[in-house]
Amino acid sequence: MDGRELPIRRHRRALVRAVSERPFLIVTGETGSGKSTQLPKYLYEAGLAQHGAIGVTQPRRVATISVAQRVAEEMGCALGSVVGYQVRFDDCSSEDILFGLLKKLFLQNKPPGRKTEMKVVVMSATLEVDKLSEFFGHCSVLHIPGRSYPVKEIFCNLLSPRDTGSSAYVTEAVKVTLDIHLNEPEGDILVFLTGQIEIEKACDLLFKKAESIDYRYEVHDRSIEGLLILPLYGSMST
């Protein structure tokens, strides 16, 4: 999707103005609204990196690299030039430590009576906004409404009460995935599971069922083709 079509685009001026005028800002918005890829680009184009840099932190290695690649692509520059990334082999810190260090750094570097040039923007789709705003001195909060695509929620009651807490949901998720693949229009399917073990198990089941088409749902008379199964979890090597 073109960055100009993302929901955050309509709030570009308000976001740049808010970051320019305030040391702390909290931005909330639905997943896929463009927070991670577009806001850093807006701030760069507005000249906020003229005497420094815009640093974006991500909790996962894969997300860090993919965000940098996307922004570099949109800006038409080689990765590692204007846009780059840095990852470490291990990270045991938490968001609480990160926010605490940012606040401490801000207070230490601010000369008495002078406006600081350091800006802190916290972005998320799932934040306890009131608590975080209070932590940063009741800072401003901007919300980005809207999604990149319309979302329809459908709930499947496939598990019995005795299956609650077991891994049976992984098997059912695989069956639903194949049912969608065979019976719905062409597209992509995202399956969110609880961890690496469940993800790898789901991938193995998908491969096996794609070969045998051995499950209880009725499907159209067509072969399984165009099925690309890709695992994604935080500890994956790049």
Task: Look up the pTM and report it.
Answer: 0.61
Same domain? 13 vs 131? yes
Same domain? 135 vs 170? no
Same domain? 14 vs 98? yes
Q: Provide the domain limits for residue 190.
A: 152-238
Same domain? 55 vs 13? yes
Find the CATH number of the domain harbouring 126.
3.40.50.300
- What mean pLDDT is predicted for residues 212-224? 48
Same domain? 47 vs 79? yes
Same domain? 38 vs 136? yes
* Per-residue confidence (pLDDT) for residue 224, from 0 to 100: 53
User: How many Cα atoms are found within 13 Å in the side-chain-facing hemisphere of 94?
Assistant: 2
CA torsion sign, 102 to 127 to 156 to 169? Answer: positive
* Per-residue confidence (pLDDT) for residue 94, from 0 to 100: 45
Among the listed residues 17, 20, 39, the one whose alpha carbon sits nearest the alpha carbon of residue 28: 39
Structure tokens at 127: 């934040």
**Do 3 and 74 touch, CB atoms closer than 8 A?**
yes
Same domain? 116 vs 168? no
Same domain? 125 vs 188? no
pLDDT band for position 12 (cuts 50, 70, 90): very high
User: Is 61 or 170 the better-scoring residue by pLDDT?
Assistant: 170
The pLDDT tens digits of the residues spanning 88-126 come to 654 434 455 456 656 666 666 655 555 557 788 888 777
The pLDDT tens digits of the residues spanning 157-215 come to 766 656 555 678 888 888 888 888 888 888 889 998 888 899 999 988 888 887 776 44
| Domain closes at, from 144, 177, 212 | 144
Same domain? 81 vs 125? yes
Same domain? 164 vs 137? no
Tell me the C-alpha distance between 234 and 66, whole Å.
Answer: 12
| Domain closes at, from 109, 144, 179 | 144
Same domain? 162 vs 198? yes
| Domain closes at, from 117, 144, 171 | 144
Residue 225 burial (C-beta neighbours within 10 Å; 0-12, 13-18, 19+): exposed
Domain count, the chain: 2
Same domain? 176 vs 73? no
